[in-house]
Amino acid sequence: MSGNMNPRTVLKYFLAREQAEGRGARVRRSIGTINLRNFTPFLMLDHFHVTPGIGGFPSHPHHGQETITYITHGAMAHEDFTGSAGILYPGDLQFMTAGKGVVHSEIPVKLKDDPTQACIGMQLWVDLPENLKNTPPRYRDLKKKEIPIAKPNDKVEVKVISGSSYGIGSLRDLAYTPVCYYHYTVKPGGEFKQEVPADFNSFIYLMEGGLTINDKEYDQYNAIFFNRDGDYIEGKNPANATKDASFVLIGGEALDQKIVQHGPFVETSVEKMHEVFRNYQHGINGFEKAREWEAKIDIGVEEGDVIGNTATPKKDEL
């Protein structure tokens, strides 16, 4: 790291409190709450916990945004009205571009070797630039084996999901809106320093353990947002900590556009939002299949079930 560089300061932070969402799911929502409505280009961040056979996120629409889903425990099946379907296991991600419109379902999978294992992970909603709001929907599944890992020392490990960390770069072209995404694990006594682009807003969400940043301590489930006043984010897991710190550090290019959001629909003006609602209600302009399509996975998923046109793979088949 070159000289004349400065760390970013903290803009705000708060505890992500648990709430009900979807069908029987529990989420800790940070972005997208009264504490922080949005943080361009980010619209929502949920740390979710969903039990197979009980909870899930059955068929629902999206428009004008991208979603990034990261599974840390269990498994999640997805299916949509374009015919796309698949399953994510621990360490896997899905980059979904809703664009013009999509209706999909996300349901936890009952694993054969551990049927009560909850599906736990992160889902991030990212705004699309105005000129891409009506792009066709697309998916990019990123499997655990495709994600490079940086190990700058014996106390720090970084899964480089998108971007570059300690000289290790990720796969490219995962999303339309430029995003960097890192999953850090820092052992007690470990320190980290992550560069972020000048025009990116950035934040940390603490999944486990605690961190010290700029001499202030932050506990599990805290979301920490940074000013765009520096070149990197740094912190440490104190030497006297009793557990590893596990957190995501995420950044995204700040978009200079208005955000008009109604649930899973995102536009740049009230007039355009009215048009999206008309499209969805009448099944036109991207939502032609919305009325007749039903997700097979809405009733539940077990390993080996057929979703879409393919059998759900088992974990040991990947």
pLDDT of residue 318: 47
Q: What is the tens place of the pLDDT at every residue in 247-257? A: 999 999 999 99
Topology (CATH level 3) of domain 10-253: Jelly Rolls (2.60.120)
Q: Please, which residues have CB within 8 angstroms of residue 215's CB and are 6 or more apart in sequence?
A: none
pTM of structure: 0.94
Q: Is 318 exposed, middle or buried (0-12, 13-18, 19+ CB in 10 A)?
A: exposed
Question: Chain-wide mean pLDDT for the chain?
Answer: 93
Which contiguous run of DSSP H or E holds residue 272?
helix 270-282
Q: Please, which residues have CB within 8 angstroms of residue 306's CB and are 6 or more apart in sequence?
A: 296, 312
Determine the Cα–Cα distance for residues 247 and 202; give it in Å rounded to an integer.
Answer: 13
Integer CA distances (angstroms), 235 to 175, 189, 210, in order: 28, 11, 10
pLDDT of residue 315: 55
200 or 292, greater pLDDT:
200
Determine the Cα–Cα distance for residues 203 and 79; give it in Å rounded to an integer.
Answer: 30
Q: What is the tens place of the pLDDT at every residue in 39-92? A: 999 999 999 999 998 889 999 999 999 999 999 999 999 999 998 898 999 999
Q: Please say if the pLDDT value at position 196 is more than 80.
A: yes
Q: Please, which residues have CB within 8 angstroms of residue 292's CB and are 6 or more apart in sequence?
A: none
Q: What is the mean pLDDT of residues 292-314?
A: 76
Q: What is the mean pLDDT of residues 229-237?
A: 98
Annotated binding site: 60, 62, 104, 106
Q: Please say if the pLDDT value at position 142 is more than 70.
A: yes
The DSSP symbol for 64 reads S
pLDDT of residue 291: 87
Annotated binding site for Fe cation: 60, 62, 104, 106
pLDDT of residue 304: 77
Q: What is the largest CA-CA distance in the chain?
A: 60
Q: Please say if the pLDDT value at position 227 is more than 50.
A: yes
